[in-house]
Chain A
Amino acid sequence: MKAVRLALRTLLREWRSGELGVLLLALTVAVAALTGVGFLVGRISAAVALQASSVLAADLRLGSPRPLSEDYFAEAARRGLASARTARLLSVVFNGDASQLANIEAVTAGYPLRGRVLTAGEPFAQGTAASGIPAPGEVWPASKLLATVGAAVGSQLTIGAATLRVTRVLISRPDQGGTFAELAPSLIMNAADLPATRLIQPGSRVSYAGLFAGDRAGIEAFKAWLTGHRRDDERLRDISDASPQVRNAVDRAGRFLSLASLVSVLLCAVAVALSARRYVYRHLDTVALLKTLGATRAFTLAVAALQLLALALAAALAGSALGFLAQEWLLRTIRGLLAVGELPRASLTPLALGFVTAIAVLAGFALPPLIQLSRVPALRVLRRDAGPPPPLVLLAFGPAVAVVLGLIYWVVLEVRLFGYLALGLAVFLAVLALAGTGLVLLAGRLRGRVGVAWRYGVANLSRRHAESVVQLVAFGTGIMVLLLLGIIRSDLNSDWRRTLPPDLPNYFFINIPPAERDAFIRFVQAQGARTTRVLPMIRGRLTAINGQPLAAAHRGERGEEDTLATREQNLTWATELGADNRVIAGRWWTAADAGKPLVSLASEMQGALGVQLGDRLTFDIGGERIETTVASIRKVKWDTFQPNFFIVFAPGVLDAVAGTYMTSAYFTPGTSRTLAALAHRFPSVSIFDIEELLTQVRAVLDKAALAVQSVFVFTLFAGLTVLLAAVQSSRDERRYESAMLRTLGASRGTVLAGVLAEFITLGIMSGLLAAAGASLGAYLLTTRWLELRYVFELTPWAVGILGGALLVATGGWLATRSVVNQSPLSTLRA
């Protein structure tokens, strides 16, 4: 109790004397950066998830070949989740005598729970978002369907026993998917009309789905409940099962944001460590005096710890508020850039995490010096040079290392990446420490040859060896991280730009009959559209792996990937390997392999099947059994929107099998007539408009880039705090030396030049090391982790060195301004 009273009283006194300002500021900015990034990352990744959910038209989708139990919907309602149902079946749609096989999608009110249905007044036109679903008695057929049967808005279409009126043209629906399981054009109708069609009879093939949406926690809980209650043949999908394109983007964004937030945490730790050092340094006399007056070591430790705790509390509160306001302001400013109208509300989790982290960082970085502080001998009141005994190395660095490792793991939650980062950090610190020592030696050698200001500045670096190394580490880390983010961001951006050029294919054409193939391509090219590669497409089913029937081995609990293996496959054969395909195991076939039963698998398919090179896969293609050998595994870049297949055969194996062709092409917007003509000329060709899907992908990438940039701003602030804390920690000595120089006749300009020389040297060294570290880090991260191509650039080096010198010199000058103006009189009073 006595300790608490003394701690608070002296805390107030020191606050009034302005001593605590820097420590509090460092902690506050640290917490602000951390919580700000936390809020921002949380909200943007929620927005990204929301965007990705639209591909499922829900957060959670339960598919079944049988009508779904009412219990599921009752349970969802009980949990406050939104729900809707769809039933999908294939049926022929008639307009008088004209008919077309269509994919009938009967939906209930609320559909889609995520994403938008786009409709228009005429086929292939620009769609606008529909509000609601078709009213009973109405249908929204897709452009292709309408064009093929020669109908228009207002026509009456017959579906089964019911006749329904066309009120809008369906342009796209969110869950049409990036795969081509459905070849027939879609038609959306109201589920209430389904009984009147009498299409659902015993034995008819209908896919039922339950759609569910709500807040993340509610969905997670419901997903767990559903997993426990669903029947074996009911299939559960959530965002992580969404199309590979969107999944890729979300994955990248999430990983990158977590990396960015990790960096802020580490910078904060450095700032706190520097501030704590200064705090301890300034309290050596006070503690010695307290001990002289009879205070025990435990008591002095308690007083100091309580003061730091009070500071941590104050900083956590102020910092959290600041962090929240900063991200709120940032999001408001950039709201126009986001496709989602309203961002999800911020969760309060970052507050708790920020608080816990503040305490953890203080415990790791401030507690060891505090313990040292309590060991200062009372003798110091008589002999100023009497300091505490040297600390145990384990005690001095153990907690800091433990906290840093803990924080890294907590943020990345991935063992391999954790290993990379931790190792990289250790190497980086070791290199910086070595470089610091090198600097001391080099400065000692070189400083005889430069003018007085530079000699004095550089000599300062040499003398404050340990401090210089700490500052090198801090500035080096800060600048390195900024550079690393910069390099990776531009890599990501340019890679995304490369993969998503403006004339990316926006239409897929499936079911092109072999006889019409050449005519079709001529027709498309005559319209000024550019087709991509044209691949044969053959339906087949995988029946056995290494002679073992597939059904038993691969119908399990794992959701999509099992069906990836067991559903009917689209197969192709090709001679050339596409530029968007990379063989990661085995080899692509040569001309000599033509006619051999070899297959190449996409890595996703390999994962789903659990097979290796050389394994035998047996296919049933049109009733014929073909046994093949896995010759290569490919990594496919799905987001190029080129025709790609999970399973590719060697040429000469499937040539005789009856199949069709597929391709993709880019049509400039507003070519609805052309497409209507195409649908009419080639009625059997299925047309897929992927413009809407592309828009979704672009929006996701946009958000990711945006989040990255905003996090970048927070990291910059964290770096500046480190700089401030570092400069502040040497303030007293600087004040004294500056006064001394002025007494000896140095002008203000000379003293300033000395300070600038010191910080410029420090900045250049930090920039140099940071650029080296960032280039290496960027190389590892882009090639190993983001799986992008790494291009070495000199720009980061120039930016690092110039920026480092400028940043550190400006920061140093601002922080030492008052020191330079120190009156020489104080040397007499010292």
Chain B
Amino acid sequence: MSLEIARGESVAVAGPSGAGKSTLLALLAGLDAPTSGRVFLAGTDLTQLDEDGRARLRATRVGFVFQAFHLIPALTALENVMLPLELAGRPDARRAARETLALVGLAARTGHYPRQLSGGEQQRVAIARAFVTRPAVLFADEPTGNLDTATGSRVGELLFELNASAHTTLVLVTHDRELAARCRRSLRMEAGRLL
């Protein structure tokens, strides 16, 4: 497989279950290392880095949004958003996190724990967490998969708004045709190959 995604581009990846979408995402984000071949992220060869090196790169250049939100249940909305900033060693974590939460419309919910938020709110916290570091690349794995249609489309809108304003590269794995249609490019995978 050979794939190049340009800076600021938005790409949707679709395909049946087991096609390898998540594996592709994992390789692109440096969550996993390929057995052969090379992966470059924002100019850095991921295959040359060890796990902690890839973690450092993720902390500064990469954002994630998951289908299951994956907020840390022990931390408040604000603390969840602060987490990547703190991991990257940023001193103004609290202020930046507050601003980003305000940006996704959750200024009033900063002290709430994930269990106290609705699904849509949780995903908005997750999106705030993904954007707070102003990442070069945002990876989203079925970001609307766990949400009802109306909430899902609002979350999708938010995702593209932020993408446009921050000039972030967006890589989206989704079954949602509406969401895929909003991307500049659509890829389809089957049995581990790009069609």
Interface residues of A (CB under 8 A from B): 451-452, 455-456, 459-460, 462-464, 737, 740-750, 823-825, 827-830
Chain A residue numbers with a CB within 8 Å of B62 are: 745
Do B32 and A744 touch (CB < 8 A)? no
Chain B residue numbers with a CB within 8 Å of A825 are: 26, 31-32
Do A830 and B70 touch (CB < 8 A)? yes
Given A825-B31, A828-B26, A830-B68, are A745 and B74 also a contact pair (CB < 8 Å)?
no
Per the 8 Å Cβ criterion, residues 52-73 of B in contact with A are 52, 55-60, 62, 64, 66, 68, 70, 72-73
B176 part of interface (Cβ distance < 8 Å): no
Residue in A456, A462, A830 with the greatest tally of chain B CB atoms within 10 Å = A456
Do A744 and B31 touch (CB < 8 A)? no
Stretch in contact with the other chain, from B1-9, B83-91, B156-164, B179-187: B83-91
Chain A residue numbers with a CB within 8 Å of B31 are: 743, 823-825, 827-828
Chain A residue numbers with a CB within 8 Å of B129 are: 744
Do A746 and B59 touch (CB < 8 A)? yes
Chain A residue numbers with a CB within 8 Å of B82 are: 452
Question: Smallest CB-CB separation from B29: which chain A residue?
Answer: A743
Question: Smallest CB-CB separation from B78: which chain A residue?
Answer: A448
Chain A residue numbers with a CB within 8 Å of B83 are: 452, 456, 741, 744
Closest beta carbon of chain A to B95's beta carbon, Å = 13
In Å, the complex CA distance between A456 and B58 comes to 19
Do A745 and B60 touch (CB < 8 A)? yes
B22 part of interface (Cβ distance < 8 Å): yes
Per the 8 Å Cβ criterion, residues 66-115 of B in contact with A are 66, 68, 70, 72-75, 79, 82-84, 86-88, 113
In Å, the complex CA distance between A777 and B58 comes to 53
Closest beta carbon of chain B to A38's beta carbon, Å = 42
B51 part of interface (Cβ distance < 8 Å): yes
Do B22 and A744 touch (CB < 8 A)? no
Do A744 and B58 touch (CB < 8 A)? yes
In Å, the complex CA distance between A828 and B26 comes to 8
B121 part of interface (Cβ distance < 8 Å): no
Find B55's partner among A462, A737, A746 (CB 8 Å cutoff): A746
Find A459's partner among B32, B56, B70, B75 (CB 8 Å cutoff): B75
In Å, the complex CA distance between A750 and B56 comes to 11
Find A828's partner among B51, B60, B66 (CB 8 Å cutoff): B66
In Å, the complex CA distance between A823 and B73 comes to 19
Do A827 and B79 touch (CB < 8 A)? no
Given A825-B32, A828-B25, are A745 and B72 also a contact pair (CB < 8 Å)?
no
Do A463 and B74 touch (CB < 8 A)? yes
Given A745-B88, A824-B31, are A463 and B59 also a contact pair (CB < 8 Å)?
no
Residue in B57, B62, B87 with the greatest tally of chain A CB atoms within 10 Å = B87
Do A828 and B22 touch (CB < 8 A)? yes
Do B66 and A750 touch (CB < 8 A)? no
- Given A452-B86, A459-B72, A741-B72, list of 14 further CB < 8 A pairs? A463-B74, A464-B74, A737-B72, A741-B83, A741-B87, A743-B31, A743-B58, A743-B64, A748-B52, A750-B87, A824-B31, A827-B70, A828-B26, A828-B31
Residue in A463, A747, A828 with the greatest tally of chain B CB atoms within 10 Å = A828
Given A462-B74, A827-B70, are A746 and B79 also a contact pair (CB < 8 Å)?
no
Chain A residue numbers with a CB within 8 Å of B68 are: 830
Shortest 8 CB-CB distances between A and B: which pairs? Answer: A745-B59, A463-B74, A452-B86, A745-B58, A459-B74, A747-B52, A824-B31, A825-B31
In Å, the complex CA distance between A740 and B126 comes to 12
In the complex, 6 of the A-B residue pairs with CB atoms within 8 angstroms, ordered by the A residue number, are A745-B58, A745-B60, A748-B51, A824-B31, A828-B25, A828-B26
Chain A residue numbers with a CB within 8 Å of B87 are: 452, 741, 744-746, 750
Do A744 and B64 touch (CB < 8 A)? yes
Chain B residue numbers with a CB within 8 Å of A824 are: 31, 55
In Å, the complex CA distance between A749 and B56 comes to 12
Task: Flag B29-57 by CB within 8 Å of A: 1 or 0 each.
Answer: 00110000000000000000001100111
Chain A residue numbers with a CB within 8 Å of B32 are: 823, 825
Question: Smallest CB-CB separation from A758: which chain B residue?
Answer: B74
Chain A residue numbers with a CB within 8 Å of B64 are: 743-744
Chain A residue numbers with a CB within 8 Å of B58 are: 743-745
Chain B residue numbers with a CB within 8 Å of A463 are: 73-74, 113
Do A460 and B84 touch (CB < 8 A)? no
In Å, the complex CA distance between A501 and B79 comes to 63
Closest beta carbon of chain A to B89's beta carbon, Å = 9
Residue in A464, A741, A745, A747 with the greatest tally of chain B CB atoms within 10 Å = A745
Per the 8 Å Cβ criterion, residues 113-130 of B in contact with A are 113, 129
Find B56's partner among A452, A464, A747, A829 (CB 8 Å cutoff): A747
Do A744 and B73 touch (CB < 8 A)? no
Chain A residue numbers with a CB within 8 Å of B59 are: 744-746
Given A459-B79, A745-B60, are A740 and B70 also a contact pair (CB < 8 Å)?
yes
Chain B residue numbers with a CB within 8 Å of A747 are: 52, 55-56
Question: Smallest CB-CB separation from B89: which chain A residue?
Answer: A452
Do B84 and A745 touch (CB < 8 A)? yes
Question: Smallest CB-CB separation from A827: which chain B residue?
Answer: B70
Chain B residue numbers with a CB within 8 Å of A456 are: 72, 74-75, 83
Do A744 and B25 touch (CB < 8 A)? no
Question: Smallest CB-CB separation from A452: which chain B residue?
Answer: B86
Residue in A455, A462, A823, A824 with the greatest tally of chain B CB atoms within 10 Å = A824
Closest beta carbon of chain A to B87's beta carbon, Å = 5
Do A827 and B66 touch (CB < 8 A)? yes
In Å, the complex CA distance between A462 and B62 comes to 29
Find B86's partner among A451, A460, A462 (CB 8 Å cutoff): A451
Chain A residue numbers with a CB within 8 Å of B70 are: 740, 743, 827, 830
Chain B residue numbers with a CB within 8 Å of A740 are: 70, 72
In Å, the complex CA distance between A741 and B59 comes to 10
In Å, the complex CA distance between A748 and B31 comes to 13
In Å, the complex CA distance between A452 and B13 comes to 34
Do B141 and A828 touch (CB < 8 A)? yes
Closest beta carbon of chain B to A414's beta carbon, Å = 46
Closest beta carbon of chain A to B189's beta carbon, Å = 15
In Å, the complex CA distance between A151 and B51 comes to 94
In Å, the complex CA distance between A455 and B76 comes to 11
Given A456-B72, A459-B74, are A745 and B79 also a contact pair (CB < 8 Å)?
no
In Å, the complex CA distance between A828 and B32 comes to 11
Question: Smallest CB-CB separation from A463: which chain B residue?
Answer: B74
Question: Smallest CB-CB separation from A747: which chain B residue?
Answer: B52
Residue in B68, B79, B82 with the greatest tally of chain A CB atoms within 10 Å = B79
Chain A residue numbers with a CB within 8 Å of B73 are: 463, 737
In Å, the complex CA distance between A830 and B146 comes to 13
Chain A residue numbers with a CB within 8 Å of B57 are: 745
Question: Smallest CB-CB separation from A462: which chain B residue?
Answer: B74
In Å, the complex CA distance between A4 and B189 comes to 47
In Å, the complex CA distance between A451 and B31 comes to 25
In Å, the complex CA distance between A463 and B58 comes to 27
In Å, the complex CA distance between A460 and B141 comes to 26
Chain B residue numbers with a CB within 8 Å of A741 are: 72, 83, 87
Question: Smallest CB-CB separation from B74: which chain A residue?
Answer: A463
In Å, the complex CA distance between A720 and B73 comes to 28
Chain A residue numbers with a CB within 8 Å of B25 are: 828
In Å, the complex CA distance between A745 and B59 comes to 4
Question: Smallest CB-CB separation from A447: which chain B residue?
Answer: B79
Closest beta carbon of chain B to A469's beta carbon, Å = 15
Residue in B55, B60, B68, B82 with the greatest tally of chain A CB atoms within 10 Å = B55
In Å, the complex CA distance between A797 and B75 comes to 32
In Å, the complex CA distance between A456 and B82 comes to 11
Closest beta carbon of chain A to B71's beta carbon, Å = 8
Closest beta carbon of chain A to B18's beta carbon, Å = 12
Chain B residue numbers with a CB within 8 Å of A462 are: 74
In Å, the complex CA distance between A651 and B86 comes to 84
In Å, the complex CA distance between A745 and B73 comes to 18
Given A825-B32, A828-B141, are A744 and B66 also a contact pair (CB < 8 Å)?
no
